[in-house]
Structure 1
Amino acid sequence: MFEKLKEIQAQSFKNFLPQNSHELEWSTVSNNTDKLNNDYTFAVTNYHLAYLASHYQVINASIILLSNNKPIAIWPLNLAKINDNWQIQSHCKGIMPPLFSSQLSDKHKKAIYKQCLSFISRCQQLFDIATLESTFEPNTDALWLQTIAPHISNINYKHTLYLNLEQSTEKIKASVRRRYRSYINKGLDLWDYSIGTSISADEIEEIRLFHVKTAGKETRSVETWQQQRNMVNNNQAFVVTLRDKQQTLIGAAIFNTTDSQGMYSVGIYERSLFELPIGHTVQMLAIEHMKKIGIEDYFIGYRDYEFEYHQPSEKQSAIGYFKEGFSNQIKLEANAKLIF
């Protein structure tokens, strides 16, 4: 399958490099863009590959596109065999558009987009892919939408939650849902906290085992936790922990970061203390740290309204309601089904 993938890539793109083992070239593009989204970092791409590999057969299809032998675009992609069917996707969602270096012209972008569509179409035929989906932000990816529009059979939208951290600390705190403010103060009185910008092997193992305990099972591989440890130690993430007065771990969360964006990656909270404000306290500590290190936007997650398609579970909607209490911006994420 890997050899077939390489053949399709060579047929579709004039000049490219595979993502693996080319971190410098990948970073040349990601470091030359305005407000880098965490989904386009080398580390997050590797994390999702490790996550998928712990559940499915997966092939890394991510590429770096070149012009005059210089990196100009990056495209996170993978082929995953899920329920005996191959899917092409970005991370664990629909195909995202490539990310371009900031100086690239729209004319050049359109030419690359056409190559991308050729590649997607060839993949569908060769791997017998039943469903193709693309995930993008309509406001910022208008050119991608124009390019794929002739191939869209239907489209739906999800609501994404953000916090604008360029506002003053006072305004940020005032935008938090009113009753959450007293919850946070209570949490700070009840528990000890730490914000870690480095993490040892023993510390990440403690968090991993805490996750297994609260989930009731092991939901992902040790490798994924090692990937997250690497991100923290490489200044691409940080970890917030809460402990009771006996120093027992009761809450832990990891937040991915770029120079401009923070992203809520994973949160683990003691189930027996569900009625207490563990998650509220962790969120505010993370927000204050992001503000301190100069991050401009915090992507909290999805709102998961019950009326959305695909309809979220009651639990997902409740988690979305919790996250909404810390946001002051709602954006749309489009999910388009494609036909070739």
Structure 2
Amino acid sequence: MINILEQLSDNNIVVSFATEKDKESWEAVLKTKNFVSNRYDWNNLVYLNTYFSKESGYKQIPLIYFYKNKPVAVWPLAIINGVLSSHGGDVVEPLVIEGTPQKVRKQLFEMSYSFISSIENETACKPSPFGVILSNINLSEWAVYLHNQGMKCLSKQLLYVDLTCSLEEIKSSFRKSYRPLVTKGLRLWDSEVVTSSRDVFEEFMQLHHDVAGGWTRSRETWDLHYEMMVNGEAFLITLRDDNGVLVGAGFFVNNRTNACYAIAAYDRSLFKEPLGHVVQYKAIEYMISKGFKWYEIGENVSILDESTDKERNIVKFKSGFSNLSLAQLQFYR
């Protein structure tokens, strides 16, 4: 694969696989954007690399682009079980620094598209659809480029919470049946935002183990999540009963502009009680206090999607908290 990058690079633009030494340059690109999905976060790449490391044929290949020796773009990519994606999801678009000359941007996209074709030929892997979020009325330059390559297009719905609204406004937009459940849950449970306690995090791990019936991921991935929390890149919302017993918790990751849900665990004997409702509400409350702009809830599903009943139920639950829907175009050959 190194040969592929050498063939793509020229005197002005150099493309390389990002490693730990490129962390500062990678994050410098992200800091220039007003909105950055958590899928581009460096700590997310580290976590997912650890999570997928035991998968057959897994290879992380994040790209970083330099123009005149300065970082101008990043592209999180990985190969998992013969599929090229951004760690299991759609292939996100290359993130390019604002103000990059138009000629350079065009060349970056041409190089990126050529890279995908070269990887397909060398490894026989197939790319996931290319996902492009429509955050305004204009198509991104990457979307226009893919369209001009003759790629077909579908659309999907992404669910968000606009955190620039007040907490009262956001709560009023919750699914009608959720509002009294949040109020009830706030009376039932003692909630806490946790950002550093190892003991509480270990409690959360144990609760997840008990609910799942065993360990579903490596200890190393849990340790990485704890490190993210201590470093201000994640937080934990806990719920306890009157006896101080942990009955539910949700873990969320964040960058400087937005946050997204990562993992949760709830006492199954209390399934009919409003646990998740309160975790979501308290998480949104904390996000607003930290000045985040967006809460990425996730992708909605349609009757045409191949998803399990469990996945549909999770999406149905989370969609009740969303007050903003964005379209995502999926380009494919």
Is TM more than 0.5 here? yes
Q: What is the correspondence of 1:91-110 to structure 2 with a 5 Å cutoff?
A: 91-110=87-106
> What SS class does the counterpart of residue 241 from structure 1 fall into?
strand
User: 1:336 maps to what in 2?
Assistant: 331
Offset of residue 138 of structure 1 = 4.0
Shift of the alpha carbon at 1:290?
A: 0.6
How far did 1:183 drift? 0.8
Contact 1:152–1:336 (CA under 8 A) maintained in structure 2? no
Name the CA distance, whole Å, in 2 between partners of 1:13 and 1:34.
28
Partner of 2:291: 294
Distance in 2 (CA, whole Å) between partners of 1:320 and 1:132 is 21
| Whole-Å separation in 2 of the counterparts to 1:188 and 1:241 | 12
Unaligned runs of 5+ in 2: none
- Shift, 1:54, TM fit: 3.8
For normalisation by structure 1, the TM-score amounts to 0.90
1:182 is displaced (CA, Å) by: 1.3
Cα drift, residue 16 of structure 1: 3.0
Alpha-carbon distance, 1:79 to partner? 2.0
**Root mean square deviation of aligned Cα:** 1.9
Superposition pairs of residues 1-340 of structure 1, within 5 angstroms: 5-14=1-10, 15-21=14-20, 22-80=22-80, 82=81, 86-139=82-135, 142-151=140-149, 154-200=152-198, 202-305=199-302, 307-308=303-304, 310-338=305-333
Cα contact 1:199–1:232 (8 A) shared by 2: no
State how far apart, in whole Å, the 2-side matches of 1:154 and 1:16 are: 27
Q: State the SS of the aligned residue for 2:282.
A: helix
Q: Aligned AA for 2:141?
A: L
Structure 2 SS opposite 1:267: strand
CA contact (8 A) 1:96 1:134 kept: yes
1:314 deviation in Å?
2.4
* Farther off after superposition, 276-285 or 42-51: 42-51
**What is the deviation of 1:19?**
2.0
Instruction: Note the C-alpha offset of 1:139.
Output: 4.6
Aligned equivalents of 1:152, 1:65: Cα separation in 2: 25
- Structure 2: which amino acid aligns with 1:218? W
Q: Relative to 1, partners in 2 of residues 1:54 and 1:216: Cα closer, same or farther, differing over 3 Å?
A: farther
The normalised TM-score by structure 2 is 0.92
- Percentage identity across paired residues of the two chains: 30
1:315-340 per-position Cα deviation (integer Å, ceiling 9, x unaligned): 222222211211111112233323xx
Residues 146, 331 of structure 2: 8 Å contact kept: no
Aligned-partner residue type, residue 117 of structure 1: Y
List runs of 5+ in structure 1 lacking aligned partners: none
Alignment-mate amino acid for residue 52 of structure 2: L
Q: Hey, what's the Cα distance between the residues in 1 that align with 2:267 and 2:328?
A: 31
Q: Which amino acid letter does the alignment assign opposite residue 38 of structure 1?
A: N
